[in-house]
Chain A
């Protein structure tokens, strides 16, 4: 289905936008800079939703203020027609609410960009000629539209309307969003918000801009309508689609919104999500759900994942299916709790004690957060194994639009298998994958199984027999090697052999893909592969790597003592290929496409193991 609604301006009396002098854009990066209490998150969310509904692609990015009471905050929306892979290196349109917003963010504007500012609060540098100045008395106009009380509350709605005019957005869609959002509140609130939107939409901003803009039409014929959501929401609904009905966790940013959503959603499906007293309890309770025959989930962020490690070892030993989500943030310790980092890869793959193989997956974008949950559920069930999903702070909070999943096709019906087990049932057979008999199951042998963290024989009896420990360790390893062999080979994007291959995992997908496109466009043939399955790795990588003279792994973590980021270190160990080197950084932010391109250029000419996206990060 495509939206039947080509953008039509002027559909209400207040909309006087002409369409004659519009400049068509493929996409635009709009940064709203103000204080968090101004409700700029709301404008950003509205714009993202409008983009989704208008069949545009969209990606948002926001900073969360570090104090609860608010403070300077930004929300950035990149919307447009093509595939949007990153939040954008530079800002095309900056909306500055205050002098401090202007000072802090003017440098993000590209040459020839547009600065829209509240002329009641901002005095820009009169000598600056790099971008177009568009003064709008946002505060005064909002007061005029809705009265004095509206000054602080309504400014965001005025700006929403103003942006609607700048980009020729459909005013009816703007109105609908406002009604949906505030519909549950009093009529006054809805009316004031609509008046503020209309006032913004009526502001003749084209007089200062010279013209208005519109996005290229997007042909999405035959595709599902788009949904617009953040990564944590996509992951939570993905879990439900995967058949997860039970879970337990302890709150920690940025994981918390998943547990909040599941707490209110799962009872609809007859399940429950329990807030446990700590992470040790949370994973234990989730394992109790799993032992009882349900596909269950627990989740956390960095420090909480560390607390779950002992129980993860039990899940490996007892061979319990379980989904564990880790929304990575800057670490170690409390670190940068509201920033982005990919520094938990080693913890996810090797954390815990003993030889404890488990599965680790990472989603590449918001849409993939939904599908990775299905993949985790499939693997956990089929292989009786804990599966860790490594997402991160940026994916958790950013909003993207994507085709609504075909739920009828993907939805997994949870099944509790209590069919009596035959007399020859073995809980831990050496020649097959373990599939537990949950409690409630009649054992026809009359012998009831014990799930155990002690090394055990095929019947689950504890044993210290050296040969059995060797065999059982191999059993737990071999099943995951088998999974590795069954995984799809990653596709190469761009040049399929030659000088440089870029490797990404998790949320670095977008900027690395964009960087490879940019490099190819400028005549530097570059390949790109993205790894979704990190442990076990998919088959065929050895041969892919062998086709390039240099293999650069791009990740948001530190180069460590030996000069390699975490995935690069693993790939080098696994493939013993000295061509594998590292581009890393740890500034708590996602990669700009430019940073990846520059990293490639610097590493190409260097003899070092790695380059930091921050070349001056050491004091030499």
Chain B
């Protein structure tokens, strides 16, 4: 993209390299409580990277602060642990300046919907090319059981000992409203479904989000049992349109249909799982690259020194 930077090595699915395996991707042992839903998200993410086979050095995992945000320490790729709620703009900086990288951001419901809520909207609106995985446990885990923006009314936390009273946000509606171009929902007990959703999100060009219900066994046990078949719940999956002209197909979900996606978002708890929404819209990465290309054409690809010299000549 830049005339002044050496071209970064492009991601070439590892020709002579050994395939990227879970073993190579495993880093520090996770510090989560035994039984925490986040373990399964991590295991699924390793499988996604095994499938995608990006060169290891081109993968970046970033996160904010929270139990879920410890994620990057457990993945052996370039990455980082940033501030509570601000990982999206940080990751946008990575994505926008380095088209050769694959950027993944992880975080919790407090990180994404509360302190980072404004960044979610604007990163989505700009359609920055990256994948965002939210591990929603309806509670603040790291700080030990305070009300989160997704805690249901009546949930007894340390900051609402008599039960939460504020209307929780509807994550899927919030994501749809943000302008994200790929939005899916999954459940941490459904490993294959998580893998499928995260892989689709990674392959999507633009800002993709996967909201995963991931149980905090320590502070909100059983929160998502209603969608866990092993706990007597149901895990209803969204069937996507095949455009095969059959009568059944008319009933299937068209992910480009925003209104239908809102209807899904408003279904009664526990609602459905799968791809709610997917469209193609130019990414900020493409738009900025286009601006650079047009500008460089106008300046006839002059080198940096000549460009600055001509700016100063105009100031004489």
Q: How far is the CB of A401 from chain B (nearest CB, A)?
A: 9
One of B24, B56, B78, B295 near A449 (C-beta < 8 A): B78
Interchain CB contact under 8 A, B90 and A416: no
Interchain CB contact under 8 A, A448 and B119: no
Query: Is residue B198 within 8 Å, beta carbon to beta carbon, of the partner chain?
Result: no
Q: Could you mark each residue 538-575 of chain A with 1 if its beta carbon is under 8 Å from any beta carbon of chain B, else 0?
A: 00000000000000000000000000000000000000
Q: Given the complex of chains A and B, what is the CA–CA distance between A285 and B91 in angstroms?
A: 7
User: What residues of B have a CB within 8 angstroms of the CB of A278 in the complex?
Assistant: 118
User: What residues of B have a CB within 8 angstroms of the CB of A451 in the complex?
Assistant: 79-81
Interchain CB contact under 8 A, A284 and B86: yes
Q: Given the complex of chains A and B, what is the CA–CA distance between A290 and B93 in angstroms?
A: 8
Q: Given the complex of chains A and B, what is the CA–CA distance between A284 and B115 in angstroms?
A: 14
Query: Is residue B122 within 8 Å, beta carbon to beta carbon, of the partner chain?
Result: yes
Interface size class of B (residues with CB under 8 A): 35 or more
User: What residues of A have a CB within 8 angstroms of the CB of B93 in the complex?
Assistant: 246, 248, 284-292, 296
Q: How far is the CB of B56 from chain A (nearest CB, A)?
A: 7
One of A53, A237, A265, A277 near B119 (C-beta < 8 A): A277
Question: Which of A88-96, A143-151, A439-447, A498-506 is the interface stretch?
Answer: A439-447
Interchain CB contact under 8 A, B90 and A284: yes
Query: Is residue A241 within 8 Å, beta carbon to beta carbon, of the partner chain?
Result: yes
Q: Smallest CB-CB separation from B293: which chain A residue? A: A267
One of B1, B89, B122 near A288 (C-beta < 8 A): B89
Interchain CB contact under 8 A, A291 and B81: no
Q: How far is the CB of A278 from chain B (nearest CB, A)?
A: 7
Contact A448 to B78, CB < 8 A, known contacts A288-B94, A310-B83: yes
Interchain CB contact under 8 A, A443 and B57: yes
Query: Is residue A182 within 8 Å, beta carbon to beta carbon, of the partner chain?
Result: no
User: What residues of A have a CB within 8 angstroms of the CB of B72 in the complex?
Assistant: 450
Query: Is residue B245 within 8 Å, beta carbon to beta carbon, of the partner chain?
Result: no
One of A265, A269, A413, A448 near B76 (C-beta < 8 A): A448
Q: Given the complex of chains A and B, what is the CA–CA distance between A203 and B24 in angstroms?
A: 84
Those of A35-76 within 8 Å (CB) of chain B: 52-53
Interchain CB contact under 8 A, A418 and B8: yes
Q: Smallest CB-CB separation from B125: which chain A residue? A: A277
Q: Given the complex of chains A and B, what is the CA–CA distance between A461 and B101 in angstroms?
A: 23
Those of B74-109 within 8 Å (CB) of chain A: 76-83, 86-87, 89-98, 100-101
User: What residues of B have a CB within 8 angstroms of the CB of A449 in the complex?
Assistant: 78
One of A296, A311, A413 near B86 (C-beta < 8 A): A311
Query: Is residue A521 within 8 Å, beta carbon to beta carbon, of the partner chain?
Result: no
Q: Could you mark each residue 265-304 of chain B with 1 if its beta carbon is under 8 Å from any beta carbon of chain A, else 0?
A: 0000000000000000000000010011001100100101
Interchain CB contact under 8 A, B57 and A269: no
Interchain CB contact under 8 A, B9 and A414: no
User: What residues of B have a CB within 8 angstroms of the CB of A272 in the complex?
Assistant: 96-97, 288, 291-292
Interchain CB contact under 8 A, A453 and B83: yes
User: What residues of B have a CB within 8 angstroms of the CB of A292 in the complex?
Assistant: 93-94, 97-98, 101
Query: Is residue A428 within 8 Å, beta carbon to beta carbon, of the partner chain?
Result: no
Q: Given the complex of chains A and B, what is the CA–CA distance between A29 and B92 in angstroms?
A: 49
Q: Given the complex of chains A and B, what is the CA–CA distance between A447 and B73 in angstroms?
A: 11
User: What residues of A have a CB within 8 angstroms of the CB of B92 in the complex?
Assistant: 274, 285, 288
Contact A274 to B96, CB < 8 A, known contacts A245-B4, A414-B4: yes
Q: How many A residues have CB within 8 A of the partner chain?
A: 72
Q: How far is the CB of B58 from chain A (nearest CB, A)?
A: 6
Query: Is residue A229 within 8 Å, beta carbon to beta carbon, of the partner chain?
Result: yes
Q: Smallest CB-CB separation from B80: which chain A residue? A: A451
Residue from B4, B78, B87, B96 with most neighbouring chain A CB atoms (10 Å): B78
User: What residues of A have a CB within 8 angstroms of the CB of B28 in the complex?
Assistant: 461
Q: Could you mark each residue 487-510 of chain A with 1 if its beta carbon is under 8 Å from any beta carbon of chain B, else 0?
A: 000000000000000000000000
Interchain CB contact under 8 A, A281 and B86: yes
Query: Is residue B251 within 8 Å, beta carbon to beta carbon, of the partner chain?
Result: no
Q: Given the complex of chains A and B, what is the CA–CA distance between A288 and B82 in angstroms?
A: 10
User: What residues of B have a CB within 8 angstroms of the CB of A318 in the complex?
Assistant: 80
Those of A400-446 within 8 Å (CB) of chain B: 404-405, 407-408, 411, 413-416, 418, 437-443, 446
Interchain CB contact under 8 A, B312 and A245: no
Interchain CB contact under 8 A, A270 and B89: no
User: What residues of A have a CB within 8 angstroms of the CB of B83 in the complex?
Assistant: 284, 310-311, 314, 453
Those of B1-48 within 8 Å (CB) of chain A: 1-6, 8-9, 24, 27-28
Query: Is residue A204 within 8 Å, beta carbon to beta carbon, of the partner chain?
Result: no
User: What residues of A have a CB within 8 angstroms of the CB of B296 in the complex?
Assistant: 267-268, 270
Q: Given the complex of chains A and B, what is the CA–CA distance between A73 and B91 in angstroms?
A: 44
Contact A450 to B81, CB < 8 A, known contacts A288-B97, A411-B305: yes
Interchain CB contact under 8 A, B309 and A407: yes
User: What residues of B have a CB within 8 angstroms of the CB of A447 in the complex?
Assistant: 27, 76
Contact A289 to B97, CB < 8 A, known contacts A411-B305, A453-B81: yes
Q: Given the complex of chains A and B, what is the CA–CA distance between A294 and B305 in angstroms?
A: 18
Query: Is residue A276 within 8 Å, beta carbon to beta carbon, of the partner chain?
Result: yes
Interchain CB contact under 8 A, A454 and B122: no
Interchain CB contact under 8 A, A448 and B79: yes
Q: Given the complex of chains A and B, what is the CA–CA distance between A449 and B5 in angstroms?
A: 23
Contact A237 to B308, CB < 8 A, known contacts A310-B83, A440-B101: yes
Interchain CB contact under 8 A, B4 and A291: no
Query: Is residue A169 within 8 Å, beta carbon to beta carbon, of the partner chain?
Result: no
Question: Which of A208-216, A220-228, A357-365, A606-614 is the interface stretch?
Answer: A220-228
Q: Given the complex of chains A and B, what is the CA–CA distance between A285 and B97 in angstroms?
A: 10
Query: Is residue A18 within 8 Å, beta carbon to beta carbon, of the partner chain?
Result: no
One of B73, B119, B309 near A450 (C-beta < 8 A): B73
Query: Is residue A26 within 8 Å, beta carbon to beta carbon, of the partner chain?
Result: no
Query: Is residue A280 within 8 Å, beta carbon to beta carbon, of the partner chain?
Result: yes
Query: Is residue B263 within 8 Å, beta carbon to beta carbon, of the partner chain?
Result: no
Contact A414 to B316, CB < 8 A, known contacts A284-B83, A291-B90: no
Q: Given the complex of chains A and B, what is the CA–CA distance between A237 and B307 in angstroms?
A: 11
Q: Given the complex of chains A and B, what is the CA–CA distance between A394 and B263 in angstroms?
A: 56
User: What residues of A have a CB within 8 angstroms of the CB of B316 in the complex?
Assistant: 52-53, 225-228, 404
User: What residues of B have a CB within 8 angstroms of the CB of A452 in the complex?
Assistant: 80-81
Contact A415 to B118, CB < 8 A, known contacts A292-B94, A407-B308: no
Q: Given the complex of chains A and B, what is the CA–CA distance between A614 and B292 in angstroms?
A: 52
Residue from B9, B28, B57 with most neighbouring chain A CB atoms (10 Å): B57
Interchain CB contact under 8 A, B292 and A267: yes
Q: List 17 A-B contacts (CB under 8 A).
A: A226-B316, A245-B2, A269-B3, A270-B3, A270-B4, A271-B97, A284-B87, A286-B93, A288-B91, A291-B94, A407-B308, A415-B5, A439-B57, A439-B79, A448-B27, A448-B57, A448-B78
Question: What residues of chain B have their CB less than 8 Å away from a CB belonging to chain A?
Answer: 1-6, 8-9, 24, 27-28, 56-60, 72-73, 76-83, 86-87, 89-98, 100-101, 118-119, 121-122, 288, 291-292, 295-296, 299, 302, 304-305, 307-309, 311-312, 315-316
10 smallest CB-CB distances across A and B, nearest first, come from A288-B93, A270-B2, A439-B78, A451-B80, A281-B89, A284-B89, A277-B122, A227-B315, A267-B295, A285-B93
Q: A268-B307, A284-B90, A285-B89 given. 14 additional CB < 8 A pairs?
A: A233-B315, A241-B308, A245-B5, A265-B311, A271-B4, A271-B97, A277-B118, A280-B89, A284-B87, A284-B119, A291-B80, A411-B304, A439-B78, A448-B78
